[in-house]
Chains A and B, each alone.
Chain A
Amino acid sequence: MIDNLKAMIDEAMHRLESVASLEDAENLRVKILGKKGELTEMMKSMKDMAPEQRKEFGAVANEARTRIEKTISDKMDYFRELKKQAEFAAETIDVTEPGIVTPLGAKHLISITIDEISRVFMDMGFSVAEGPEVETVFNNFDALNAGPNHPARDITDTFYITDDVLLRTQTSSVQVRTLLAKKPPIKVIAPGRCFRCDTPDATHSPMFHQVEGLVVGEGITMADLKGVLDSFAKQMFGPDSRTKFRPHHFPFTEPSAEMDVSCFKCGGAGCNICKGSGWIEILGCGMVHPNVLKVGGIDTEKYTGFAFGMGVERIAMLKYGVDDIRLLYENDIRFIRQFK
């Protein structure tokens, strides 16, 4: 009897070796270990055996059962894994194909630049003020201490709507509005559109943008002006930027200055961007002229202030290497998307 068992086991093990699929393995399992399987049937016959014989037979049969179960289970794992691999292979994608996206829109370079400038000044505690593009001659010139014969008033320089109304030539008009509306301390910037009679070419546009700044308070000094604008330059153009203040003239400031920033391309060594000088002119500034403060009814003995103004297009073009101002107003989507 035991010989029959052993022969059956050897036969079973032999058959297991040639199993070629998950189904084969399952079929074999049923055939050998199932309720009516070969081994199961043999084990059922044990109940009729003598105790001695049953013990030996049982030991062999149980060991065989364990071994066969293990072998089948290994086989099945192997084929399951094989099947999974095949599925993965079938589902493999080309990961280098482009992603699927609904692209974000791109902000206009002018807005990007104004936002950058505004952010720097807001971090220094400035508020953002605004004024209209169509302005009074009073706010744009008279109140800013520009004499009646100031050349900028000329009809060849400034767009007029009537004798008293014009397209503002500078955001400095917002200085006047602010001084008329607020009491010191004042700390504002004013970005916006400006207009001058320039025929469009690579460096001129009849419409352009400026950011104006105004600080008025007790004990505001020219050293403060230098501090704020030097800090602006470092945040806007990089921490290694240096600034140079040169005397200049504006009707609405006294003393007046222009600020140069060390060239952010060459660092000051001289290149085509800075025309070899190492410096780039960035803005005009100065201590607010008492005649301007007086427009706002401000006590010029008690309060002093400084103001500054910069051209947004110029900064954008220098910073991003744009060589023609007309690109900014053409709105070619390929141009705009370069700055997203």
Chain B
Amino acid sequence: MLVPVKWLSEYTDIDMPVDQWVDGMVLSGTNLETVEYFDKGISGVVVGKILKIDRHPNADKLVVCSVDVGKDAPVQIVTGASNMKEGDKVAVALDGSHVPGPLHGKPKTEEGETITAGALRGVESYGMMCGCQELGFADKIVPVRDRDGLWILDDESFVPGTPIIEALGMELPAVDFEITPNRPDCLSMLGIARESAATFGKSLRYPETECRKVAPEKSGDYIKVEIRRPDLCKRYCCRVIKDIKIAQSPWWMQRCLMQAGMRPINNIVDITNFVMLEYGQPMHAFDIRTVRGGKIIVDTAKDGDKFTTLDGQERELSDSILMINDEEGPIAIAGIMGGLDSEIEGDTNMVLVESANFLGDSVRASSKKLGLRTEASGRFEKGIDPNLAKDACDRFCYLVELLGAGTVLSGDVDVYPNVEKAQTLKVRASRINHVLGVDIPAEQMAEYFRGLEMQVSLDGDIITVTPPTVRQDLLIEEDYVEEVARMYGYDKLPVTIPRTPDVAGISRKQSVRNAAKDALLGLGFSEFQTYSFVSPKTMDKVRVPEGSFRRQFVKLINPLGEETSVMRTMILPNMLDVLATNYSRKAEAVRGFELGNTFINNGKGDGGILPEEKDALCAACYGPQESFFTLKGAVCEMLAILGIKDVEFSSVTDNATFHPGRCADISAGGKVIGTIGELNPAVTENYDIQTRVYACELDFASLEEMADTTHRYTPLPKYPAMTRDFAMVVAEDVQVGRLMKAIRSHAGELLEDVKLFDVYRGAPILPGSKSVAFSLTYRSSERTLKDAEVSEINEKLLIALKDEFNAILREM
């Protein structure tokens, strides 16, 4: 809401610097967006009067003007403009002046333009006569008459030589306030003035609405109104004006509109906009010739009806859209836009001005259905007090008379079936103090309420309050708590610490997650965060088979695009996007992980309507030092830190995402918890990664259940250990994992640890075989082992391995 400070001071006193006033408004609840100054970048520009216009001797498209700029002698200015005549007043940028620009036909620059004297096609020019845009006014607020050419200042108040900003009366800025949706009443000058008056303890001045002289004929002689849908139209008030004289509005009204961000058009349209900004009540003017049968009927349209709005568009109607009709058909879409046929034209003599109140929800629905939003519809949607309609209508007529734009007929036609009454409420001062943590006397609170134009009576602790009907946001006691708080000042409320018993902590899930993250960070994996929504095509890119549960997406109805249209079922595709980005940016090696939600479309979430959300962990890496085993090592270390027991890796050859010879399922306690492997080159190709990538995706939700991060002390060994190292030759397909498992089971309880320390292929080992070397540690917690008993165990073990795997002991 753009509020010109000068205009606002018509309704309440603002007797302080603007900055200070704004600060006060912000603290009482009207938040600031920006402050717009109109003198920014303007210097040396004055009002000038064109005395004489001569042809340019050397150029057909230029003229030479003699301009009175308030000095002893007129100055000579050459211009290419053509919309002025002798006697017109304009803004003149004198030699050495500065304007914000953009200059006609040039782009806007940050620093603006300096105007200097010079010769134009051989004729001296001592400055520049300005168009409105050249003075920095946005194109959308330039008066419609002067959009292309000089800005003609045809008000008597302009005196040649006066600095332009002073002459325009634009020394004060316009303040753009952020109006929250609960305060539609503040979308008006009077609403802001009411807040200002209450904040600074000033009075509020209402505008004049009473015409001095009205025609003896009555509005009711020309027009009848019938509301057929009182549920959608709360009030319809109108008046008739005759002898309309369309003209330019006086400068003061144009100034108000321009500073408030609206374009001056002509007196009747300008008054409509002026009253709308003043009261917040949208108005509409019809040429009464087009109201057939002299009757306004407010009713919904019929399905399939067609109607052409004043923007020239034909629109299809439906039976939920409220229309303004005459005896023969629609003439306007209620609260949204008038019809092309009923527009005010140059020869309009008699006007019907409508000041009505339409139900916000109905206007919203119609506006949505038609895809047509206007200033008026936006205001109706937010809610307008129906009691404003008559005041606004009268104010319109008053201004018509004041501007000499027509003769107002006596009386009005006002159909208002259910008069909106103010809502009285009893509030407790003690409760207000209790919620705020203060001790404000009830009388002080009553004073705040009175300042906001509320009717107040006080009975001990009980304050009976009746707000003005424009305040549709005050419904319950808490609403009054806020009124007291903001008038008292949020800044003056004390600062205390609540006395509540604390039960701080994080859940088991959260602590397992933190432990996993810390482990991976320590292992050199950086953390990524990617979108929870992805493209369904990601499943093709990572070669997830048709029919997999991972393709049963939770789908968005209204995604921004296909790229973010379904919720992810695994993190790997996001991980590959990130690796691809880094790979394309020449990162030589990357280790990363993401721990986050995946969404399984199984209705196992709340109430059977939400999907199951499961934590998943994806860790991946590429780079010259990386291999399947570097990733496996990191994953195992993390699992160990989480206290996951009985972790096993079993080779998987049919997972299309991975290399068939380098992929494993990971299980813990017999349950598969994830997959690890080198990605299939077909997948990395899909991501334009030309290097081997290793990745692991874990069902982290299961790990959260299995994790055991508690630690217990085990006594350190008292007796020495004995080691036995041996190497043996086995067939290539004998997996180390199986050998180690066998060693553990055959070596018995005295085996403390077994380590693989070498795998060798090549001469003298025959092709198809490999040599694997283990180091076994034996120890008893009760005694020192004898060499012979360990040797005996080891011998038996070697025999068992020979039987089971045909493992041949190598000489060391």
Contacts and interface: CB of A to CB of B under 8 A. Distances in A.
Contact of B610 (A125, A165, A226, A255): A165
Interface in A238-287: 244-249, 254-258, 287
B214 to A, nearest CB: 40
A286 to B, nearest CB: 8
Given A162-B609, A221-B437, A287 B481 contact: yes
Interface stretch (A39-47, A48-56, A85-93, A104-112): A104-112
Contacts of A329: 529-531
Contact of A207 (B481, B523, B533): B533
A287 B478 contact: yes
A164 B603 CA distance: 13
B478 A223 contact: no
Interface in A108-140: 108, 110-111, 122-128, 130, 132-136
B607 interface: yes
B759 interface: no
A226 B435 CA distance: 13
A334 B605 CA distance: 38
Interface residues of A, number: 80
Nearest to B505: A127
A132 B605 contact: yes
Interface stretch (A10-18, A30-38, A68-76, A227-235): A227-235
A317 interface: no
A37 B31 CA distance: 108
A22 interface: no
Nearest to A330: B581
A111 B590 contact: no
A133 B615 CA distance: 12
A244 B492 CA distance: 10
Contacts of A151: 181
A223 B495 contact: yes
A296 interface: no
B498 A217 contact: yes
Interface string B542-571: 000000000000111111100010010000
A103 B485 CA distance: 53
Interface in B494-548: 494-507, 509-510, 517, 520-533
Given A106-B527, A329-B530, A287 B497 contact: no
A215 interface: yes
Interface in B147-164: none
Nearest to A110: B529
Contacts of B507: 128, 130
A206 B556 CA distance: 13
Given A249-B182, A254-B478, A290-B476, A223 B529 contact: no
A215 B524 contact: no
B607 A136 contact: yes
A200 B496 CA distance: 40
Contacts of B530: 329, 331
Interface in B586-605: 587, 590-593, 597, 599, 605
B719 interface: no
A254 B481 contact: yes
Most buried by A among B31, B554, B560, B606: B606
Contacts of B479: 254
B578 interface: yes
A331 B581 contact: yes
A223 B494 contact: yes
Contacts of B494: 223, 226
Given A221-B435, A221-B496, A247 B485 contact: yes
Contacts of A318: none
A295 interface: no
Contacts of B522: 104-105
Contact of B502 (A102, A155, A187, A244): A187
B435 A304 contact: yes
Most buried by A among B495, B502, B555: B495
B435 A105 contact: no
Contact of A104 (B28, B496, B497, B521): B521
A132 B606 contact: yes
B629 interface: no
Contacts of B585: 332, 334
A155 B497 contact: no
Contacts of A136: 606-607, 609-610
A185 B585 CA distance: 52
A217 B500 contact: yes
A134 B606 CA distance: 10
B490 A246 contact: yes
Contacts of A257: 490
B29 interface: yes
Nearest to A155: B558
Given A111-B527, A222-B437, A254-B481, A133 B592 contact: no
Contact of B592 (A103, A125, A331): A331
Main secondary structure on A side of the interface with B = mixed
A289 interface: yes
Contacts of A167: 532-533, 556
B493 interface: yes
A105 B183 contact: no
B478 A134 contact: no
A333 B554 contact: no
A206 B560 contact: yes
Contacts of A135: 610
A304 to B, nearest CB: 6
Contacts of B609: 136, 162, 164-165
A150 to B, nearest CB: 8
B498 to A, nearest CB: 4
B592 A105 contact: yes
Contact of B491 (A155, A161, A217, A245): A245
A331 B578 contact: yes
B482 interface: yes
Most buried by B among A332, A336, A340: A336
A5 interface: no
Contact of A336 (B491, B527, B605): B527
A31 B578 CA distance: 79
B603 to A, nearest CB: 10
Contact of A222 (B27, B182, B485, B591): B485
Contact of B528 (A103, A108, A185, A337): A108
B180 interface: yes
Contacts of A221: 434-437, 496, 498
A330 B605 CA distance: 30
B528 A228 contact: no
Interface in B341-399: 360-361, 364, 381
A170 to B, nearest CB: 15
A79 interface: no
A197 interface: yes
A227 B531 contact: no
A133 to B, nearest CB: 6
Contacts of B364: 149
A258 to B, nearest CB: 7
Contact of B555 (A128, A161, A332): A161
Given A105-B521, A124-B497, A167-B533, 11 more contacts: A124-B504, A134-B599, A136-B609, A149-B364, A221-B434, A221-B496, A223-B437, A247-B28, A248-B180, A329-B531, A332-B582
29 contacts: A107-B517, A108-B527, A111-B517, A122-B505, A132-B610, A133-B532, A133-B613, A134-B599, A151-B181, A155-B557, A160-B556, A160-B557, A161-B554, A161-B557, A187-B502, A193-B597, A197-B558, A206-B533, A221-B435, A221-B436, A221-B496, A249-B182, A254-B476, A255-B485, A328-B529, A330-B581, A333-B526, A337-B526, A340-B526
Interface of A: 102-108, 110-111, 122-128, 130, 132-136, 149-151, 155-156, 159-162, 164-165, 167, 185, 187, 193, 195, 197, 199, 206-207, 215, 217, 219-224, 226-228, 230-231, 244-249, 254-258, 287, 289-290, 304, 328-334, 336-337, 340
4 cross-chain pairs, A with B, having the tightest CB-CB distances, nearest first: A221-B437, A125-B502, A223-B437, A247-B29
